[in-house]
């Protein structure tokens, strides 16, 4: 493993912001999961990325769901987030990943996403709002849904970044609330289960969220045999500017705040809308 330390790069506003999607297949070995995250984050940083987004359940995953999830849940100040913070600080990048988080009741866990900064600080967290009770699955049997509250965002360069998770992408209002909170880049860790037409759904929904909100969306999935892979970054005009196939890998897209502004000038859909979003 090639180790990278110290400032790897500075954000070059002229070149744009490097956003990496990193896909792998998390398993029940938490040490192996962290090793994969480290390996892929180093690859992303070496290619100039300022942010790298990993899949949902990056800290621990097994199929089918079982007691192992609850046993391996951690608080946000636990070993997993601490390790991500150390990695982000060493590589001088933002690291975003899904994890299983302990809850106060302790009967179910939260399906959380965390973002850590180049200083190693936890700068945002998100708990999945819409649980995957579809296509024969019952995520709600194990997972406590997130509380609807003001979205947490964080700044990277000239971008405001928001978070959401997997099945949330089927609910347009989740992304729209993030945009109303100022986000122009949305990161989507996912465990998009394979199935009939599922890869088509994945690409279509990620593209739609970018296109209708005139934002960038970067979505990272598990690789097969459970996930579809096919991680991608889509620009505000709905163009895929980076994508992966089915193998463990990293892809970096260079995104430009000026592209958001220009697309919104040509397609002022956000300014022309007659409906807002609010908590119900």
Helices 79-91 and 30-46 cross at an angle (nearest 10°) of 20
Residue 102: both structure tokens together: 């302990």
**DSSP assignment, residue 151?**
P
CB 25 within 8 A of CB 226: yes
- Residue tagged active-site, from 42, 74, 101, 128: 128
Residue 146: both structure tokens together: 């997130």
- Residue tagged active-site, from 42, 166, 191, 212: 166
Query: Which residues does 261 contact at the CB level (< 8 Å), separation at least 6?
Result: none
* 191 has catalytic annotation: no
- Residue tagged active-site, from 42, 56, 139, 191: 56
Mapped onto helix, strand or coil, the DSSP state of residue 19 is strand
Whole-angstrom distance, CA of residue 264 vs CA of residue 271: 9
* 56 has catalytic annotation: yes
Query: Which residues does 208 contact at the CB level (< 8 Å), separation at least 6?
Result: 172, 238
* 166 has catalytic annotation: yes
Can you give the C-alpha Rg of the chain in angstroms?
Answer: 17
**DSSP assignment, residue 39?**
H
Mapped onto helix, strand or coil, the DSSP state of residue 186 is strand
* Sign of the CA dihedral running 4, 17, 54, 103: positive
Neighbours of 121 (CB within 10 A): 12
Burial of 60 (0-12, 13-18, 19+ CB in 10 A): buried
Which positions are catalytic?
Answer: 56, 128, 166
């Amino acid at each position: 493993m090639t180790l990278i330390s110290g400032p790897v790069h500075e954000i070059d506003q002229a070149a744009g912001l490097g956003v990496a999607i990193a896909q792998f297949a998390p398993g029940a070995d938490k040490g192996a999961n962290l090793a994969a995250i480290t390996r892929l984050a180093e690859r992303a940083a070496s290619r100039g990325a300022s942010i790298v987004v990993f899949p949902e359940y990056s800290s621990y995953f097994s199929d089918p769901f079982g007691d192992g999830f609850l046993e391996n849940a951690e608080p946000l100040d636990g070993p997993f987030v601490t390790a991500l913070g150390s990695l982000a600080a060493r590589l001088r990048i933002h690291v975003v990943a899904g994890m299983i988080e302990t809850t106060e009741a302790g009967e179910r866990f939260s399906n959380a996403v965390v973002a850590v900064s180049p200083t190693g600080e936890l700068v945002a967290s998100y708990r999945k709002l819409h649980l995957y009770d579809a296509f024969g699955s019952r995520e709600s049997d194990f997972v406590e849904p997130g509380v609807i509250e003001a979205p947490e965002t964080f700044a990277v360069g000239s971008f405001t970044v928001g978070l959401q998770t997997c099945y949330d992408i089927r609910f347009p209002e989740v992304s729209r609330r993030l945009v109303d909170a100022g986000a122009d880049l949305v990161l989507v860790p996912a465990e998009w289960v394979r199935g009939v037409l599922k890869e088509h759904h994945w690409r279509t929904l990620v593209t739609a969220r970018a296109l209708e909100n005139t934002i960038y969306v970067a979505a990272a999935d598990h690789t097969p045999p459970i996930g579809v892979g096919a991680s991608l970054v889509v620009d505000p005009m709905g163009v895929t500017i980076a994508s992966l196939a089915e193998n463990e890998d990293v892809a970096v897209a260079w995104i430009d705040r000026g592209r958001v502004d220009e697309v919104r000038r040509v397609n002022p859909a956000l300014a022309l809308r007659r409906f807002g979003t609010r908590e119900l």
